[in-house]
Structure formats: structure tokens, C-alpha cells
Structure 1
Amino acid sequence: MSEPKQPDIAKPAAAARPPARGAKRDSLGWREQWRAYGRSHKASLFDSLGRLRAQPISTLLTCLVMGIALSLPMGMGLLLDSLEKLGGSWQRAAQISVFLELRLPEQQSAELHTRISGLAHVADAQLISREQALAEFQAQSGLGEALKELPENPLPALIVVTPQEVERAALEALLSELQALPGVEQAQLDLGWVERLAAMLQLGQRFVFGIALLLIAGLLLVVGNTIRLSIEGRRQEIEVIKLVGGTDGYVRRPFLYIGVLYGVGAGVISWALLALGLSWLNDAVVRLAGLYQSDFQLIGVPLEEGFLLLLGAILLGYCGAWLAVGRHLSELEAQVQ
């Protein structure tokens, strides 16, 4: 298939005649130029579609390779979000246990609970009375009968504080502030667990980011190599176009459309693979979570992230084609001269 003929927009027909109305002539000239520019882009698009349609197997394989490579980092990111949801929120992992004085009256305990709930860095605070604490301890420890023999309840009231921030410095400051409140016997926080959780999540995020960078580089190479082969197959045609005065933009345009079309196909395939894969995996996850009396399920592909995936695939295809065409145009320019 030959390259579509680009309309001559450098010399509008109106330029050969003296203008009767200068402003109107200029307006019509620009309008015709934009129409010619649009027709040129339309011809390049349909020419690219025709070339891809003429090689369906090669086109499908390229889109599959790109789609699979795109689906891997995004799929791992969605699984990471689901695991974070399964493990509980960061705020829950960083809960501070505030033990009140054993002889503190209930009214003062309630007032202290209200005061702690109003602190700036506290997201939530739950008051557990001495009776509730004893009942929970009896149920979980298996020492219910032995505890009944005690003359009085040995457990103090407790306020479970959920912080708004989970950074170490903010947690230590909040812990010190809670410890200094009147009526507080002791405030405890397992900072080691918070740091371990933060380190694991950060490791997962960095791993996903590194994999994404490697796969993006691989996709650029795949697109660039595919476009390079297409350029090599049309080398003589491009040389003729350059000899007769064809611009770099005219030569580059159909290859850029090919890269964009590859990106569209890869984005659709990647979106479909993620949706099907997560749905298939979610059935087993739901059954496993049901055995532990949990309603946990995997997060699907949100609509916004799906469109971002499609847009990213298009940009990758465009950038890969641009880099490949730019390099080979420079080589052809040197050979033509």
C-alpha cells in the first residue's frame, strides 16, 4: 500500500488571485489549510489501519506482548492494595492503648475519653470500661472460673486511641501527650509492629515501581523495534518522499498512528486481562476468607484506573514510535544528502 498523498497546503488556490477582501481571503486560506491538514491526518490514520489489518497475526502478537507487560505492574499494585485492606488500615495497626488509673471514677473516665477524642491528631477513641475489659479477658483467656474467685476486678479501664498519622515522630509525640494526661496510668504502642508494617508496604511499593520501570522500558523497545521494521520495509518509499521535498512530519505521521493504534490495542487487552484475572482469583479468595468468617475480597479494576491504563498504553506506543522514527529519519537524511 503506497503512502497517502498529502494535499498541497503551501500554495492555496486563492493566492494566485488578488484579494477582493483581504481579511476574508486570509480567513478562507487558513480554513482551507486546516481542512487539508485534517484530510492528511485522516488519510494517514486509515493508511495505518490498513497496514495493521494486512498483518493481523503480527499486530495481535505485538498488542498481546504490550498488554501482558502493562497488566503485570498494575495487577501487582491492585493486589498490594487488597493486602493492605486485608491487614487492616495503618491507623488500626498503630492503635495506642491508654490504661487509666485503677481507682479512677467512671465519670472522670468518660470525661477523659471525651478529651482524648478531641485531640488534633486522634482519629478515633474507644472507651472500654473495667467490666468490659474483664468480660473480654475471661472470654479470650479461658480463665473465667479462676477470675470469679478474685475479690475485685483487677483490670483498669482502657481507651483505645486510633491516630490520624502513622509516622514514627507523630506517634511518639501523641504517645507522650497521652501519657501526660491526668488519670492515665500508662500508654502503650508497639512501634516495632508499625515500623515492620511500613517497611513491608514500602518494599512492595518499590518492587512494583521497579518492575513497572523495567516493563515500560521493554515496551518502548518492543514498539521501537516494530516501527523500525516497518520503516525498513518502506525505506525506498521514504527516500523518494524526502527527495521530492516531503517534510519529516509527513513521513513520521503514519508511523506515529501505528504506535498509537498499538497502544490502544494493548490497553484494551491489558484491561481485559486484569478484569478476568482478578475475577477468577477472587472466587478462591472469597471462599478462603469465608472460612475465617471474613467478607474480604480482591479489589477489581476501578473505572478511572482502567482509563489511565489505556491512556498510558497510548502514550507508550506514541513515544516508542516517535523515538524510533526520529532516529531512522536522521539516518535517512544523512544518506539522502
Structure 2
Amino acid sequence: MKIGILAWDYTGVDPDGPNLAEFGRERGHETSLFTLKEIDYIPGNHGPDLMLKGEPASSFDAVISRARLHGDDWQDRVERLSMLSHALGGRLFDPADVWHHTYSKFLMNQKLAQNGFPVPPVRSATSLEEVAAACEQWGSAIVKPSYGYGGRDVERITDPEADKAVAERLLEKYETLMCQPYYPTRFGEYRITVAGDVAPMNILKLPAVGSWRCKTLEGASFERLDAPDDLLELSFGATRLMGLTLSGLDVLPDPAGGWVIIEVNMVPGWLHMLGREQHRATLAGVYDWVEEKVAAM
């Protein structure tokens, strides 16, 4: 098959765009790498035809997306991804509406909750008073932008007065914040990676001493996880509901029992962190899924 890989960018921040392209070649596919900025429109018989780094979009059997929608030019990026979705239909893994519903933490939370998945209650905040109201309701609140990645600007507010400067900075930067209750992380946060029909790369992230953050780039450690069946079932169900081919779910134990899904990430990174075997199994899971879906079209 001829398969395109829609990369995050060319900076190397996401090595798994090129990794997917190379893995596809190993499987005998003709693969090429391009970014959203390399999608061009030319006159066609029924509106614009799309060119992907100089090649007609219609010539591709499938495109696997690891696109970046963040940035000051987000409107242009969403437009390009939407144009590609309309051109390829089910041959884009995954289409723009799936991308948008998962990029937005509010939309993600709403969709999961409406379909019975365990997620935190959320409220919006556009003022210090609304941040304080979240703390009053839950005692300790996590505040973050609805559109963000990599744990950037995710903060814990316990004392609205003492943490006023933090809240002011985030409100000035994002205007609207998502607030949700803080769930204890001392026993770790689970990251389940779903690739098609398999979950080959799962870890437990443990915060550094004195920290609540489960970010490996901020001192958190991690260990390989043999995920329990109920957690895997929950993760596969949430991934299928959101319409994703590849996902990374951040899940915490619910103090009341069971699990709570904090986020479903559509461009999970660090796919190599458990070594070559799990990395290749994850890439293979993506291709197995794409090949099966394309063959059934």
C-alpha cells in the first residue's frame, strides 16, 4: 500500500512520525512523510484537489496522522486537517473531528462522561473567583488549559490566595481554564498505550519525593506495568469511543473505587521508553489496524 505519515513537524520533537514511516517500509509499504504545512490545494473537477508534499492525496491508500494542531496558526492547521479528512474519508487515521474532540479536554471529558466512562467532574474558570469556587468545592483543584500537551501549565491550586499568582498567569495566558478535583498521585498514575487492537506498552509513573506530578521530565520515575484486565478493558473502550487508532490514556485509581480517566492523548510520545520490543509492537499495532481497515473498504 501507499501510506502517508502526517508528522508533527521536522524538529525531531516527535520521532515516531519518521519511525512509523520507516516501519511501514519494512513491512513493504511505500511510505512518505509530510506535515500539515505541506498540504496544498489545486483546482479540481469538484472543488480543490489536495496535494501532499507534491503527491495527489487520491494516490494514497491511507494516511496516519500525528499532526500538531497547537500554535498561533491553529485555524490554518485545523482547516488543512479538515480538508484532508474530506478528501480521504475513512482512509485518514484519524479524521479531523476525532482529532478535535480529543485535543479539547472539555470535549473529551463530555464525550466520555456521556457514554458512561469514569472521568473527573469539571468546571470552567475565567476569573480568580471561579478558580476559588473550584477549590471551595473540591478542596484542591487541578487547573489547566483545555488545549495543551505534555503536561504544560497544569497546576494544583489548594489555597486560592497563596496560589493567586499562578492562577493569574494561567488566566492571562489562556482566558478559560479547565478545573477538576485533585486525585492523589502518591501511588502513581497509569499510562496505558493502545495501538489498534493491542496494548503493548503500559507503565506506572511514580512522582518524585515531595511532588504530586507524574511527569518523567520533572523527576517522576516509571516502571513496566502488567495492567489488570479491567483497566485494559476501560482503555480499549475509551479509545474506540474517541475513534482513535493510537492513544495514550492517563488513568488514576478512584478513591471511591475503580478508575478515573484523566486524559486520552491522541499523539502519545516516548513510544520507545520501554525498549525496542515494545516500541516495535506499538508501531505494528498501528499498521495492523490500518491495514485491516483499508482492506475492508
Which TM-score bucket, shorter chain as reference?
Answer: under 0.3
Of structures 1 and 2, the one with the larger relative CO (CA 8 A, separation 6+) is 1
Q: In terms of Rg, which structure is larger?
A: 1
Structure with more strand by fraction: 2
TM-score by length of 2: 0.25
TM-score normalised by L of structure 1: 0.23
